[in-house]
Amino acid sequence: MFPFPKREPSKIAVVICVGVLLLVGCESPRSLQQSYELAPDLSIIETQVVICELEMNTIRREISDGSHLDGASMRRIDDALEKYQREIAFQATEISKAETYLIHNQTNVTYYQNNINKALVNHAKNQENYNKWVEIFKPYKADIKVEISRDESKKNKYRELILSYIKARAIPESNYFVADSCIYYVESAVLKDDVITINSHLAQYPNSYAGIRAVHASFNGQSLGQVHTEMQRPWNSSVGINTPCEHKINVVDAGLPATGIVEVLIEGFDFKKTLEINYGGTEQKIVKAGATIVLYGRRDGSHIILPVTFDGEGNKFTRDCLVDTGATLTTAPRSLLHVASTEERQFSTANGVVKMPIGKAMVSVGELSREISVAMTSSDEVSLLGANFFDDFVYTIDLENNAIYLIKR
C-alpha cells in the first residue's frame, strides 16, 4: 500500500462545514442545553383544568332548574367548553416540551419521567371528562335553542301588535322608532307654562332589557339641554310591557313659538335616535280607534281607577278597583264576594304576609268580561284589578285620557 501524506484541513473547508451546519439548523451542544434548562411546570396546568371543572359544575347547577335557559347561558356553555378544550391542548403541548427537556437534560430523570407519566394519565382523563361535559350540555343547549326560538316568536308577535297599534293611531314615522329591544313612540306633545310635555311609551319586548338613559332636546339647532324623564315601570321584565314615559322640556329661556317642531334625541342601551316632534299650545284628546277594547275610568295620581263588576255564585256587585298590573291576582272583600274557596295563598302586603282564600268569579269592566281567580281580602280595603284580568292582552295605560287600551295577543 502507498501511504498518503498527512494534511491539515484548509481554512476554506472549515468555513464550508460550518456554513452547512448553520443551513441545516444544527445547534451547538451548549445552545441545546440553554434551550432546555427550564422544565415546564405540569402541576400548574392541572390547576387550570380543575378551575374549568368548577366552572362547568357552576353552569350546570344554575341551568338545571330551567330558569336560565337563554342566549347568555348558551354563550357561557360554549365559552366554558372552548376554554376547557384550550387547556387540554395546552397541556398536551407542555407534556411534549417536558419530554423534549428530558431528552436533553439527563438529570433527575426518574423525577421528571414520573411527572410526565402522571401528566399523560391526567391528560387522558381530562379529555374523557371534556367529552362527558359535551354530552351533558347537549340536552341543555337543545332546550335553550327551543326557548330562544319561543322568545323570538313572542318578540315578533309583540312587535307586530305594537306596530299595528301605531298604524291604527296614525302616528307619523317621525314620532316612533323600532330598536332591537323595544319600540318607542310619541303619543302627543303640548307646550304649557313654558314647558313642553311629551307623552310617549317604551314598548319593551318580552325577555328584553330596555330603558332610556338620556333625553336631549333642541330647536332649530339650538340645544335645550338634557330633558327630565319620568318612567312608571321597571326597565326589565319577562313579559312585554308598554311603559308610559313623560319628557318635560323647560323652554322658558329658548323663546319658542306656541307651535312648532322640537328635535328630541332618545338614548337607550341599544338605541340612539332623534325624533322630530310636533308640539302645540292646546292639548287635544285623541280617541285611539285602532285598539281592540278601550276601558275608561278616572285618574288617581299616577293610577287608573276602573268600575269593576264582580259576579260570583249569585251575588253581584260593582266596586271601584285600582289597576295594579304588578299584582298577580285581582282582589275583592270577602264580605261582598261570597264564593267557594278553591285554595289559600300567602301574599306580601303593606301590613306584612297574609293568607287569603282564592275563589272563581266573573269579573267585568266595560265590554270585557272574564272568569278569573279572585283573592278575597278580610277587610274592606282598596280592591285591585290585577294582572290576571289582562292575560292574553297587550295593554297601554293612558293617564292622559283616563283609559286603558287593549289589543288581543
| pLDDT confidence of residue 24 | 40
Task: Report, in angstroms and rounded to the nearest whole number, the Rg of the chain calculated over CA atoms.
Answer: 36
Q: Tens of pLDDT along 381-400?
A: 889 999 899 887 888 887 77
- Would you say residue 15 has pLDDT above 60? no
Number of domains in the chain: 3
- Would you say residue 142 has pLDDT above 80? yes
Q: Tens of pLDDT along 182-202?
A: 899 988 888 877 788 888 888
Q: Does 311 lie in the same domain as 258?
A: no
- Would you say residue 40 has pLDDT above 70? no
Q: Does 394 lie in the same domain as 307?
A: yes
Q: Does 237 lie in the same domain as 316?
A: no
| CATH assignment of the domain containing 243 | 2.60.40.1630
Q: Does 36 lie in the same domain as 139?
A: yes
How large is the average pLDDT for residues 246-253?
A: 76
| pLDDT confidence of residue 302 | 83
Residue 6 lies in a domain: no
- Domain end marker among 210, 244, 279: 279
Closest CA to 361 of 382, 380, 346, 383: 383
Residue 254 lies in a domain: yes
Q: Does 237 lie in the same domain as 265?
A: yes
Q: Does 233 lie in the same domain as 182?
A: yes
Residue 284 lies in a domain: no
Going by pLDDT thresholds of 50, 70 and 90, the confidence category of residue 25 is very low
Q: Tens of pLDDT along 125-136?
A: 999 999 999 999
Whether the Cβ atoms of residue 143 and residue 69 lie closer than 8 Å to each other: yes
Q: Does 122 lie in the same domain as 44?
A: yes
Residue 158 lies in a domain: no
Residue 160 lies in a domain: no
Residue 268 lies in a domain: yes
Across all residues in the chain, what is the average pLDDT?
78
- Domain end marker among 228, 246, 279: 279
CA distance 129 to 293: 58
Residue with the larger pLDDT of the pair 307 and 349: 307
Model pTM?
Answer: 0.47
How large is the average pLDDT for residues 259-283?
A: 80
What is the rounded end-to-end Cα distance, in angstroms, of the chain? 112
CA distance 192 to 311: 45
| pLDDT confidence of residue 252 | 65
Going by pLDDT thresholds of 50, 70 and 90, the confidence category of residue 241 is low
Q: Does 146 lie in the same domain as 34?
A: yes
- Would you say residue 373 has pLDDT above 60? yes
Cell of 24: 441545516
Q: Which residue's entry shows cell 332618545?
A: 266
Closest CA to 359 of 331, 387, 335: 331
Cell of 264: 328630541
Q: Does 312 lie in the same domain as 403?
A: yes
Q: Does 268 lie in the same domain as 365?
A: no
- Would you say residue 9 has pLDDT above 80? no
Q: Which residue segment(s) compose the domain that 250 sits in? A: 173-279
Residue with the larger pLDDT of the pair 53 and 34: 53
Q: Does 261 lie in the same domain as 202?
A: yes
| pLDDT confidence of residue 398 | 79
**Residues forming a β-bridge with 305:** 298, 322
Residue 85 lies in a domain: yes
How does 352-375 read in b/e, with b if 16+ C-beta sit within 10 Å? eeeebbebebebbbbebebebbbb
- Domain end marker among 255, 279, 303: 279
Residue 13 lies in a domain: no
Cell of 190: 303640548
| pLDDT confidence of residue 235 | 46
| pLDDT confidence of residue 230 | 67
Cell of 178: 323600532
Q: Does 311 lie in the same domain as 231?
A: no
| pLDDT confidence of residue 250 | 79
| CATH assignment of the domain containing 334 | 2.40.70.10
What percent of the chain is modeled with pLDDT above 70? Answer: 81
